[in-house]
């Protein structure tokens, strides 16, 4: 799992577009914490700090401890809305993490042992179909990444979700098919398909 982030927050006393606009003018971003058996909590956070954490690149897959009124609420970011022009965050939804519940998250894949792949050694190319996997993970143990071993893979081979050993307690959200994560293709196959496209265009 990516590092745990901490985000100071203050309670929002008023809801509505007018109140939200006023907060944004003050450099704050409205947000809400929901989930579990408790009532949603309306909060606002400092926009600069939120942007800094978003820029880490792993904000959406990190546990965020929100500090509010002397308490810490353990959450997982679920959605960030951005302004269409300024690209600044305008609202954030945080999912409250409780007990041993499971959460669906996007976890990046990393391919290892490429030197052990005969296909890559002879110049083949790893065509990555999915750079992330949607996984159902225990909220206390979300993996930072999933490593996929390509040892022994040759040109023409495919890697499916059934080939991947997931951590204990982690399952794929997609269960109705054995989907492809990557294929190993020959460079000539790529060139030939590009050539075909050009010919058709002419």
Confidence at 102, pLDDT banded by 50, 70, 90: confident
- Indicate whether 87 and 160 sit together in one domain: no
Indicate which CATH number applies to the domain containing 91.
2.40.240.10
What's the pLDDT score for residue 89?
A: 93
- Indicate whether 23 and 66 sit together in one domain: yes
Question: What domain range includes position 29?
Answer: 5-96
CA–CA gap between residue 43 and residue 55 (Å, rounded): 21
Among 74, 96, 118, residue at a domain's last position: 96
Task: Give CA angle at 142 (144, 73), nearest 5°.
Answer: 115
- Indicate whether 79 and 21 sit together in one domain: yes
Tens digits of residue pLDDT in 25-78 = 899 999 999 987 788 999 999 999 999 999 888 788 788 999 998 899 989 898
- Indicate whether 85 and 164 sit together in one domain: no
Indicate which CATH number applies to the domain containing 169.
2.170.120.20
Confidence at 202, pLDDT banded by 50, 70, 90: very low
- Indicate whether 24 and 111 sit together in one domain: no
- Indicate whether 194 and 111 sit together in one domain: yes
Q: Which residues pair with 67 in a beta bridge?
A: 8, 72
What's the pLDDT score for residue 197?
A: 44
What's the pLDDT score for residue 200?
A: 41
- Indicate whether 119 and 74 sit together in one domain: no
User: Does 22 have pLDDT greater than 90?
Assistant: no
Number of domains in the chain: 2
What's the pLDDT score for residue 3?
A: 64
- Indicate whether 184 and 146 sit together in one domain: yes
Q: What is the mean pLDDT of the chain?
A: 86
CA–CA gap between residue 40 and residue 19 (Å, rounded): 17
Task: Give CA angle at 10 (4, 11), nearest 5°.
Answer: 120
Tens digits of residue pLDDT in 141-199 = 788 889 999 999 999 999 999 999 999 889 999 999 999 999 999 887 555 554 444 44
CA–CA gap between residue 28 and residue 30 (Å, rounded): 7
- Indicate whether 124 and 76 sit together in one domain: no
């Amino acid at each position: 799992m990516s590092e745990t982030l901490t985000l100071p927050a203050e309670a929002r006393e008023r809801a509505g577009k007018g109140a939200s606009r006023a907060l944004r003018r003050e450099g704050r971003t409205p947000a809400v914490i929901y989930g579990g058996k408790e009532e949603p909590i309306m909060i606002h956070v400092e926009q600069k700090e939120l942007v800094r954490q978003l820029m880490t690149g792993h904000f959406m897959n990190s546990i965020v401890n929100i500090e509010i009124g002397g308490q810490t609420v353990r959450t997982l970011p679920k959605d960030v809305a951005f302004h269409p022009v300024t690209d600044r965050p305008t609202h954030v939804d945080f999912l409250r993490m409780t007990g041993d519940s499971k959460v669906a998250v996007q976890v990046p894949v990393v391919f290892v042992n490429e030197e052990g792949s005969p296909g890559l050694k002879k110049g083949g190319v790893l065509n990555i179909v999915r750079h992330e996997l949607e996984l159902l993970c225990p909220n206390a143990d979300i993996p930072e990444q999933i490593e996929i071993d390509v040892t022994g893979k040759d040109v023409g081979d495919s890697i499916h979700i059934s080939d991947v050993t997931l951590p204990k307690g982690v399952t794929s959200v997609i269960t109705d098919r054995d989907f492809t994560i990557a294929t190993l293709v020959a460079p000539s196959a790529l060139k030939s398909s590009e050539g075909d496209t050009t010919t058709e265009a002419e």
